[in-house]
Structure 1
């Protein structure tokens, strides 16, 4: 018999998600091919859905004329500034709620009151407060990303294993060390998961904000295309938004793989 030790597989390994490359892309390709076939054969009316090939041609024209970046850069700037303000404030508030009972007692009812309000309904109010320019757009996106980030963050802090905290206390770790070495790393997976929802909400509010008083931006582009019933341009704008969502989700996934490698 060989004395070479054998690796024992981790029991829960079957529940660990594995990266399977190419499946997501294949789903998109098949779906687009079906729509292309349906629109060419008349099974799908061109008044309902445009041909994907026509949308691709419109997208190519956007790139060649430079209009893509004229609309993309303002949108990216608004999304970045507004989301950075809302998410940073939301993470800070969520951590404070999770750590301090007095802050929880004061903040949770306020967040619960703000969370269900449709933020788009507040856009006219923000225009009155901050003007029709960039300030109202930043404020709308910041508020829209703030509330889900707060909820995700303090929920993640609450879900940190209390046994680990008690273990740290038994070893004589200071309060700050427990927060820095146990609470924050333990809450990070939940916080990053919440960011996916927050940024998705930020993209939705970005479009709404740009449909009011914006000359350039993806929302302004979609509004103009819709008013002209130009389905190719309208769906090109939708594709851009979809790509922006996939890109931000991919960036968060990349961050998760780097900072949460200890979960493997």
Structure 2
């Protein structure tokens, strides 16, 4: 399409604020921040008692990798995170869908979820230790509960926000209840469910560290606790870096799932 006076193409203006992928900008931000800290610690503007040099943290990280201690701690933490989150997220999505679809279940369980949701889950760790012991059971239970409640809230909120016009349209075409749920409700709720999943897994990582600081000898949380007790900032920040990389990886994986499941939005 061209303007009749200028004969120049008219730019498309219907993008709808669709986000554009811009590569390497996020990486550049990380690089600049790390370079500033490195320069500040070497120049003496930042005390080594406050922040260690990023180069020293990198050397500690490389040492962890070469000795095999990195995988020893990371494999234990990943197994706990995957097991606890799988229980909490699957139960949360299932219950959230039921709450969003059935009024009786919503009336009975929404007040209960609202009562549990604001409780600091870390405060329940001693109780879980009494119930499940100091081994893996209490850690799984803490992560499961921590990921369960935000997943329930995000899921039933997403189901309730599905456009009712689309549901009425499906009913007018004679679609069965199950077909409406499968073809309209679940696809429409999926963006909200995946957004809630990002928050739930981030909370799961936080609770993982808290759980591993009690009665654990292996795991990223236990490694950070040991480094902090010795005031070994290089090891401490190496552990924090592992958690940061874990969080970025989880976010990236969810982003890939979104691209695959939500390609209909493009």
CA shift, 1:237, in A, is 0.3
Structure 2 match to 1:54: 56
Structure 2 match to 1:185: 187
- Superposed, 1:54-93 pairs within 5 Å as 54-93=56-95
CA distance in 1, matches of 2:55, 2:16: 41
CA shift, 1:9, in A, is 3.8
CA distance in 1, matches of 2:81, 2:178: 33
Question: Which of 135, 138, 142 is the aligned partner of 1:136?
Answer: 138
Question: Which of 152, 155, 176 is the aligned partner of 2:154?
Answer: 152
- Superposed, 1:5-84 pairs within 5 Å as 9=12, 11=14, 13-84=15-86
CA shift, 1:8, in A, is 8.5
Would the alpha carbon gap of residues 8 and 32 (structure 1) be closer, same or farther in structure 2, given more than 3 Å must change?
closer
CA distance in 1, matches of 2:246, 2:150: 20
TM-score by length of 1: 0.96
Structure 2 match to 1:111: 113
TM-score by length of 2: 0.96
CA distance in 1, matches of 2:256, 2:130: 39
CA shift, 1:14, in A, is 4.4
Would the alpha carbon gap of residues 141 and 24 (structure 1) be closer, same or farther in structure 2, given more than 3 Å must change?
same
CA distance in 2, matches of 1:85, 1:251: 18
CA distance in 1, matches of 2:10, 2:257: 29
* 3-state SS, counterpart of residue 88 of structure 2: helix
* Uncovered stretches (5+) of structure 1, i.e. residues with no partner: none
Could you list the runs of 4 or more consecutive aligned residues of structure 1 that deviate by over 6 angstroms after TM superposition? none
* 3-state SS, counterpart of residue 214 of structure 1: coil
CA distance in 1, matches of 2:224, 2:26: 26
* 3-state SS, counterpart of residue 15 of structure 1: coil
CA distance in 1, matches of 2:11, 2:91: 44
When the two structures are aligned, how many residues end up with a matched partner? 260
CA shift, 1:99, in A, is 0.1
Structure 2 match to 1:197: 199
